[in-house]
Every structure is written in C-alpha cells, then in structure tokens.
Chain A
C-alpha cells in the first residue's frame, strides 16, 4: 500500500475541485463527484423554492378565512409545494446527490459505471424541472401533486407542463438507478465482497431497484394523462367509458414505492452515522441490509392503501391493509438495530449524530402513525385529513431531511475539505427540531379532529393549532436558512478538514479531503468489513491483516 504508486499530483494538493477550472469544466464534467455537487446545489435550490411555497401556504392558514391569497392561488401553491418537493427534491436528494458522490468512493472506484449517462441524467433532471416550473409562468396547476383524474383532465390549468416535467425527471431517476446498480455490481475494489459493503451502498442498491422498476410505470401513466388531455383517449375519463380509479392504481403503483425511494437512502445514511459516532460495530449488519430489500419488495404490493375510500373492493382493502402492516417489520428491524448499536456505545454527540437521533425520534413517529393509517377502520376516518399531512411530513422531513442533514454534516468535510462550525450547527439543529415538531405535531391533532387537508378555509375552532403550526414553519425556515448560511461560509472559510475527521472506516475516509480527481491515489484493497469500531480505536476497511478472519479480536 505504501509503495511508490502515489502520484505526484495528489501530493501537491490536487483535488477534484481544483483539478480543472472554469464554468465549462463543471458543466461538461464526467466526474461523479462534481455531478453529485451539481445535483446537490440544484436540488437544494428547488428545496428553497418548495420551502417558500410551504411558508406561504402556512401563512394563508394563519386564520380561518382569507389571509394573503385567494382559494385558487392557494390550490396552485400547495400543488407546486408538493410537486417540487416530491419530484424535484426528496426523490433525487440523497440518491442523486449523495449517492453520486459517495457510492463510487465507498466502492473504491474511480467513477460510476457510465459517467456520460450520469451527466445526461443530471441534464434530463434539469430539463424536467425547467419544464415543470414553466407552468408557473402560465396558468399553473391546481391538481395537487397526485394529478388525480378526472379533475386533472378537466382543469383549465397547465397540467401538461407539470406532468411532462415529472415524466422527464423520471428518466433521470431511472438512469441514475441503473447507473448505481451496475456500478455496485461491477466496480467494487479488490476484496470488497457483498457482505463487506457499507450499508449506505446496500440502501442505495435497494433504492435503485425501486427506481428502475417503479418509475417506468409512472412514465406511462403520465403519458396516458397527457394523451387524455390532448386527444381525449378516454382511458381515465369516465365520460368516455374510462376508469378514473385506474389512474390512482397506476399512480400509486409508482408513488408508493417512490416513498421508499425517499426513505431507504436516508436509512442508509443513518446506518453509517450510528456506528461511527457510537464507536461500536453496527448491530445486525445483515438484518439491516436485507431489511432494505424487504422494504423494497413490500413497496410494490401495498399501493392500494392509498385508495381505501376510492371504491376498491372490501377484499382488496383488507388485503392491502394486511400487507401494509408487513412494512413495519423490516422497518422495525432497522430501528431496533440502530438503537442496539448505540447501546453501551461511547456516543459522540457531534452534529451528524444529533441529526441521526432526530431522525430516530421523528421517523419512528412518522412510521408508527403510518401503521395507524394502514389500519382500515382508522384510515376511513383519517383519509384526506391533516393527520395524513402530518404523517408523511414526519417521514419525509423528519425522516429523509434529518438523515440528509446528518449525511450533509457527516460528509461536508469530505466534500468541501473544510469543517463546519459545530456550535452554530447545534443551535440550528435545535431550531429545526423545535420548528419541525411545532409545525407538524399540531397537524396530527387537527387531522384527528377532522380538519381536511388541502382546504383553504377552516372552522374557527382550529385556529390556535393552525397558528402554532404556522409559527413552527418560521422556526424551520430560520433553522434551514441558518444551516445554509454557515455551510456556505465554511465551504470557503472553514478550518481545513483532515482526511478522516470522524475516524470512519469506510473507504471515502481513506483518501484526502477533498478527494483527488480519481478518488484514490491508488486503488484501495479491502481487507475487512466497515464497522470495526472501538471506543478509542477504529479499523479502516483497508487495515492490513495477518492471517484470516476479520483480523480484529
């Protein structure tokens, strides 16, 4: 390992950020790290946009009647918020940004399997986003992000642009998934067997399978919807003999698995952060890895639980309700494994760990309320109320965003080569956690009391809880804004990070920060699994071993 292969360039501080210069060197780059960074900034700018719509929605709900906008505008705003956050933020956030940057690095590879395809999927994503956002300058869209027929066929808003944008962005998701699967299969470093893969890699692998299998179904569904509007093909239009509920079936056949596209990579990040900051080997490595696949598999057979009140047969409702309960099993396996990882560990409460703990708390609430909703009788009462809104925000924001922030702080030193300010980050974390719970916990109560989602006006008795929720949204905005500011600043001015500030074992920490152009000065040889942590010592995956076995007693 220490032989003279180390190239001279790396020794002189050459890294992927300064390897080539100029805007073109970024726009036409084939380097997975730069593409990952471009995804990160693009997706985060959409997060800002979607967040602004969220704040405006909450502001409108300050009081029971009209506050700042009329009902039509409100309908458009919650549609934009949902469509942007789902299709342009939460789905690509971790797999496309973090996955692109770190999967090849964790595999000890120089790049993804198809670098040009990788760049193409970035641009396809951008084109899809531009397409969808164009609708903002026309008549918008007011269908909600789910585009339910027949309303989406009849509304006079520019649904086609938003649907077309989601269709195009879908291809980006498919191609990223494809690229990741092939990369994980074909580009593992010598010695990196499947059971030595970091759990983030397993999670992205399971995610990619869903992306590849589910997204094409959404694609054809959206094409049918566009054809419906353009040519009156009648498939989803009851007036022409079509079936509006078929759209819901098709839509949720994608969109339920899509929920796991959003959460599985988040779980992958948590599985990385937990052992590093607990200084203990991960508990239940194989259980966590297989649970990812269990979730991916079950993802495809539970879509009907979105349609308990859509006129499905009772038998179908019963079966879907039962199958939905199974999701709790692999999910529970993961949550218990993380908790067991912390048990008797020497926990370091750095910001990534704080966010991981935040994830554990909020995701568990989100997941358990999901079990409520999967229960047929309760769901009939709670369908289309704020309870649902609270539930999926606890999963998407409390789960995915917390894990993303854990990952962002965990990998920030690697990506930028600099450290973030720990104290400020802790305060921003506190602000986000308080803001999040203040925003969404009241919505559980509102929903249980019967306030419907997506309504512009509400009964006066719901006012106080709605105000709490709106105030919470401001805390969230401050927390996220603050985080953006200190990360942006430390990207340029933060103290220089060492190669391995958290004493991690995975391969991305065994190379300088920021990584050199082709990731490693020499291809790493993997000798052990990634989770050999002790209170004061750790064993990187490339630790030279004598004899056989894990090499550590």
Chain B
C-alpha cells in the first residue's frame, strides 16, 4: 500500500506536473484533452455543414450556378498545399519524438511556410470574389448571377472558408510557438507533448479543408 504513496509523493521529473502520477499519465491526459477539444471543433463547424446542406437542398439551382464562380484550380492547389503540410507536420512530430531537434525545426518551418502559402492563395481567391461583387447576403452586387439566392452560397463560402482560415492562422501561431520552444531545446524523446498535440490540431484543420474543397468547389 505504502508503495503507491511514495510513488505519488516521489521525485518529479522535469516535465511532469505535481498532480500526475507519472509523465506518461500526463501525456495520456493531454492527448485525451486534445481529442475532446477536436470533437468540439467538429460540432462547431458541423453547424455550418448542416446549414450548407439545408440551404443547398432548398436552393439547388442557385447554389449550382454560384459554385461555378469558384476557382477550382486555386482550390485544388490549396488542397495539395495543405496535404503536403500535413506530411511535413507529421515528420516534424516524428523527429521531435526521436530527439532530432534540427530536423524537427526544419519540418516545422516548412509546415509554417506551407500554411502561409495556403493563405496567400486564399487571399487571391477572396480578392477576386470581392472584385466581382460575390459577397455574402445583403452585400452581394454581382450581376452575372441572376438567381437572387446565389448570395446565400457566398455567405456559406465566406463563413466556412473564413472559419477554416482562422484556424490556419491559429495553427501558424502555434507553430511559431513550437519553433521557439524547439530552439529552447524544450523537446526530446521524453517530452514532446505540445508538438504532438499541435500535430493533431493541424491534421484536423487539413481534414476540414478536405471536406470543404469538394463540397464548395466540386459538387456545388
């Protein structure tokens, strides 16, 4: 019995908060927390997907017509960019886990740059839409599209890609933080929780885009 006490009251390793039994227990708890957080993200963005599905059903022709205004090539480029960034993120996590600090740093920088690249492409897409007056709801001024409900498509387009782009920006902030901590030599085989968790987050952000791309650009 008393063995358990001493284990709990025993020495703390460097990265192991006092209220956890072991570094492993802490890592498990953090992973579980991150998974739950991602579930909340799915439900939040799920609201938009439900809304999109409903309105697409109610205004099928308008949505079909409007989706043709999106640039499939740019969308496809961004899909490739994000999938690649998921690969580099994965490599970054693995090298952090193996204690290869400079390699991990290199992959984190690559992921960061790919995220930048995504946002630049998105910027060009957005400005083209602004230029043509393809704006949400009441701000819609485009005259090419005759169906008055087309504006709703762009409401969803901007909301969904906007929420996604916000997550990309947050991901970039997290990546910058990881780079700083990697430079500080905070991570190694015995502690790489933040890298792993940001990895989870980043894959989730990619996954959302993998749904958004066909839904908005291809199927309409």
Contacts and interface: CB of A to CB of B under 8 A. Distances in A.
Indicate, yes or no, whether A interacts with B: yes
Interface of A: 1, 3, 5, 109-115, 117, 174, 178-179, 181-182, 185-187, 190, 212-217, 219-221, 224, 227-228, 231-235, 237, 240-243, 246, 250, 518, 522-523, 525
B43 A217 contact: yes
Contact of B4 (A111, A215, A228, A523): A523
Nearest to A525: B1
Given A3-B5, A186-B28, A518-B19, 8 more contacts: A5-B2, A111-B18, A213-B43, A215-B40, A216-B40, A216-B43, A216-B44, A525-B4
Contact of A232 (B20, B46, B136): B136
B36 A181 contact: yes
B137 A217 contact: no
B138 A114 contact: no
A1 B5 CA distance: 9
A1 B3 CA distance: 11
B137 A240 contact: yes
B47 A178 contact: no
Contact of B155 (A112, A117, A185, A233): A233
Given A178-B36, A232-B139, A216 B41 contact: yes
Contacts, number: 130
Given A233-B136, A241-B151, A523 B28 contact: no
A235 B149 CA distance: 11
Nearest to A253: B47
B152 A111 contact: no
B76 to A, nearest CB: 27
Contacts of A5: 2, 5-6, 9
A185 B35 CA distance: 13
Contacts of B138: 231-234, 240
Interface stretch (B48-56, B82-90, B97-105): B48-56
B51 A235 contact: yes
A246 B54 contact: yes
Contact of B5 (A114, A216, A240, A523): A523
A243 B51 CA distance: 10
B47 A250 contact: yes
B25 interface: yes
Nearest to B46: A217
Nearest to B25: A186
Interface centre among A185, A217, A227, A241 (most CB of B within 10 A): A241
Contacts of A227: 136, 159
Given A219-B44, A235-B55, A190 B136 contact: no
> Interface on chain B toward A: helix, strand, loop, or mixed SS?
helix
A242 B152 contact: yes
Interface in B47-79: 47-48, 51, 54-55, 58-59
13 contacts: A5-B2, A109-B19, A174-B40, A178-B37, A181-B36, A185-B29, A215-B40, A217-B43, A220-B44, A232-B137, A240-B151, A246-B54, A525-B1
Contact of A113 (B1, B2, B29, B41): B29
Contacts of A214: 43
A264 to B, nearest CB: 18
Given A114-B33, A240-B152, A213 B159 contact: no
A209 B59 CA distance: 35
A110 B8 CA distance: 10
Contacts of B127: none
B33 A217 contact: no
A182 B33 contact: yes
A212 B155 contact: no
A230 B204 CA distance: 29
B145 interface: no
A243 B54 contact: yes
B36 A221 contact: no
CB-based closest 4 A-B pairs: A232-B138, A234-B137, A216-B44, A220-B47
A109 B51 CA distance: 43
A250 B45 CA distance: 12
A242 B138 CA distance: 11
B148 interface: yes
Contacts of B120: none
A220 B2 contact: no
A231 B5 contact: no
B159 A212 contact: no
Contacts of A231: 136-139
A550 to B, nearest CB: 19
B22 to A, nearest CB: 11
Contacts of A174: 40
A243 B52 CA distance: 12
Contacts of A224: 47, 51, 159
A87 B129 CA distance: 38
Nearest to A220: B47
Contacts of B47: 216-217, 220-221, 224, 250
B18 to A, nearest CB: 6
Most buried by A among B44, B54, B159: B44
Nearest to A111: B19
